[in-house]
Amino acid sequence: MVPGAIPVLSKAGAELLVETGAGLRAGFPDAEYVEKGARMAGREEIFGAADVLVQVRSPGANPETGGADLALMRRGQTVIGFGEPLTAVDAARALAERGVTFLAMELMPRITRAQSMDALSSMATVAGYKAVLMAADALPRMFPMLMTAAGTVAPARVLVIGAGVAGLQAIATARRLGALVSGYDIRSAVKEQIESLGARFVVLEIEGAAAEDKGGYAKAMGEEFYRRQRELMAGVLAEQHVVITTAAVPGKKAPILITREMAAHMAPGSLIMDIAAERGGNCELTRAGEVVEAGGVRIFGPVNLASTVPYHASQMYAKNAATFLKYLLKDGQLQLDHADEIVRETLVTEGGEVVHAKVRELMGLPALQAV
């Protein structure tokens, strides 16, 4: 939460407890929270007193302190945050056993009335922007075309693979820096969006009509599709100075779009910025949190990019979380309407059980009977 989000929740009937020092590293001092009506408290006091806990990374998405947090949670408490329930199923099980009601921000449905609660898109916006800045800083070339007394400097060529929220933000940012930008996505429907940002849409002769699920997220395709895609993409990659990959499928390992051989055909000094590193990466050579060099090409595997722009990432996440919490509050009390798509899609655990249909399926549990 940022200080500006406090009055919204106070008006909805909530009393806000904020962990002492929680906003300092993002640029929000304790005094600003107090000024807006929040009460500062220690972490253990908050876990003991709060009816609802709002976190960024909850157990499942927090390898550092998630286990310690889980031990502080109590039966009947509601937790809202990122928890990676489609991959960290053991954490979902542990939350259920603890009797915690958990709502996962990354499962927010991509429907019109939930847009202001879509934290995944907010964080992707930050990641797409920052990935381009990191690439521009690391590239031994300048991005824009420059006419100088020493001659003309040709613009850098940038390819963005994946035109979701992160990809479109990366395209827009690279264009602002003056690069010659191309964009590719298996969903041909995004051609207009890519071109509206001033980039060229890369066309590969490959069918991608079924590449999006009903929730608006990318869908995993068959291995034959990805094999053919890699063959056709190899020639495009050889012309690029920077490749930014953003392809991720919720709950699955990121598809390999760039093989070791494809990377080897890129020009020395060029680089790959793999935003999907935390999901295994889109490049075969990617290592999460590391920079790998192969034949003069560097492959970056950045993780948690949103945390590198903490002020605005916090501002956006606070808006998403506060809007979601306000939506769930009725007369100052949390009320979960199970017939509501927003509640149904984000609710992972309740009443000592894992209740989310997709998570239950991943755990090998039978479907719950409708009440």
Do 74 and 28 fall into the same domain?
Answer: yes
256: which residues sit within 8 A by CB, 6+ positions away? Answer: 226, 230, 281, 282, 283, 284
The answer to whether the beta carbons of residues 346 and 107 sit under 8 Å apart is: yes
Set 141, 217, 327, 344: catalytic member: 217
Do 252 and 290 fall into the same domain?
Answer: yes
| Confidence (pLDDT) at 212 | 53
d(CA 367, CA 211) in angstroms, rounded, equals 26
Q: What is the DSSP letter of 35?
A: H
Q: Which of 308, 326, 353 is the last residue of a domain?
A: 308
- To which H or E segment does residue 45 belong? helix 43-49
Q: Amino acid letter at 282?
A: N
pLDDT tens for the chain, 371 residues long, are: 999 999 999 999 999 999 999 999 999 999 999 999 999 999 999 999 999 999 999 999 998 899 999 999 999 999 999 999 999 999 999 999 999 999 999 999 999 999 999 999 999 999 999 999 999 999 999 999 999 999 999 999 999 999 999 999 999 999 999 999 999 998 888 999 999 999 999 988 775 544 555 555 555 666 777 777 777 888 899 999 999 999 988 888 999 999 999 999 899 999 999 999 999 999 999 999 999 999 999 999 999 999 999 999 999 999 999 999 999 999 889 999 999 999 999 999 999 999 999 999 999 999 887 65
Set 43, 110, 175, 228: catalytic member: 110
Find tokens 């306000």 and name the residue.
326
Establish if 333 belongs to a structural domain. yes
Find tokens 């969903």 and name the residue.
187
Do 139 and 89 fall into the same domain?
Answer: no
Q: Amino acid letter at 208?
A: G
Do 145 and 51 fall into the same domain?
Answer: no
Answer yes or no: 270 catalytic: no
Establish if 284 belongs to a structural domain. yes
What are the φ and ψ backbone dihedral angles of 75, each rounded to 5 degrees? -60, 135
Q: Amino acid letter at 293?
A: E
| Confidence (pLDDT) at 252 | 86
Do 330 and 344 fall into the same domain?
Answer: yes
- Lookup: tokens for 77: 């408490």
| Confidence (pLDDT) at 217 | 54
- Lookup: tokens for 133: 């800045």
CATH number at residue 18: 3.40.50.720
- To which H or E segment does residue 167 belong? helix 165-176
Do 195 and 217 fall into the same domain?
Answer: yes
Establish if 367 belongs to a structural domain. no
Residue 246: which domain range?
123-308
**pTM of the entire predicted model:** 0.90
| Confidence (pLDDT) at 235 | 87
Q: Which whole-number Å values give the CA distances from 195 to 171, 172, 264, in the listed order? A: 10, 10, 29
Return the beta strands (E) in 162-208 as ranges: 180-184, 200-201
Do 250 and 353 fall into the same domain?
Answer: no
Answer yes or no: 217 catalytic: yes
Set 77, 121, 229, 240: catalytic member: 121
Answer yes or no: 228 catalytic: no
Set 69, 93, 118, 317: catalytic member: 118
Set 25, 74, 115, 335: catalytic member: 115
| Confidence (pLDDT) at 188 | 83
Domains contained in the chain, number: 2
d(CA 208, CA 252) in angstroms, rounded, equals 19
Do 134 and 237 fall into the same domain?
Answer: yes
Establish if 329 belongs to a structural domain. yes
Do 282 and 316 fall into the same domain?
Answer: no
| Confidence (pLDDT) at 39 | 97
